[in-house]
A and B are shown apart, each in its own frame.
Chain A
Amino acid sequence: GAVVSQHPSRVICKSGTSVKIECRSLDFQATTMFWYRQFPKKSLMLMATSNEGSKATYEQGVEKDKFLINHASLTLSTLTVTSAHPEDSSFYICSARATGGLGTEAFFGQGTRLTVV
């Protein structure tokens, strides 16, 4: 299957700093990438949908100024957690969908464990 690489896999940062997470589709072009957050023992929560070359669409309740998403190319989307707080500590996962096709499956990155201290 298609490969999606997410980096870093684990990051610890101080409160008030910003952290950038990268999501790359390695062997296909992804017009759309999705960013999820997962709380312990809970399902994935969609944060935003990122389309190449346009602004991301954020889900209700997700602060767009806090979680900056950039999808500058067909193979790269970034999520920047700005002015991180301990409550932002979570597992963040991206998924990428290839161009075209109906019902195309989305492929997930490995996830990033963010800990804000």
Chain B
Amino acid sequence: EDKVVQSPLSLVVHEGDTVTLNCSYEVTNFRSLLWYKQEKKAPTFLFMLTSSGIEKKSGRLSSILDKKELFSILNITATQTGDSAVYLCAVVSIGYELNFGKGTSLLVTP
């Protein structure tokens, strides 16, 4: 059975801190891994990772994939209160269906 596990489930940090969110997976016929940010409504796409070891970067966010150890991390540096959200990891497998983790709820306090 395909499985996507995110950790931690929740996290509280102060503004300016750096956070690392983890996503490990056991998925048959892996195609890619996606990170989303979800605030009040639908998830917002952040990154798509298909190759191991290549960092994707967007402003203060970055992510990398390790296909040998079957995990990905999402880093957020110099956190701001606007980063407070649930971060979802999803793995695209055979048939292109998305297998979601339970998400990491991040709260950034002033």
Contacts and interface: CB of A to CB of B under 8 A. Distances in A.
A102 B34 contact: no
Contact of A107 (B45, B50, B100): B45
A15 interface: no
Interface string B76-110: 00000000000010001001111011110000000
Interface stretch (A38-46, A61-69, A70-78, A79-87): A38-46
Contacts of A107: 45
Contacts of A105: 32, 34, 45, 48
B68 interface: no
Interface in B16-46: 31-32, 34, 36, 41-45
Given A42-B102, A103-B50, A111 B42 contact: yes
Nearest to B31: A103
A86 B12 CA distance: 34
Interface residues of A, number: 23
Task: Pick from B31, B42, B100, B101 the residue with the most CB of A within 10 Å.
Answer: B42
Interface in A94-108: 95, 97, 102-108
A104 B96 contact: yes
A1 B45 contact: yes
Given A102-B32, A105-B48, A44 B43 contact: yes
Contact of A95 (B50, B98, B103): B98
6 pairs of A and B residues whose beta carbons are closest in the complex: A103-B32, A103-B31, A111-B42, A108-B42, A105-B48, A103-B50
Interface of B: 31-32, 34, 36, 41-45, 48, 50, 88, 92, 95-98, 100-103
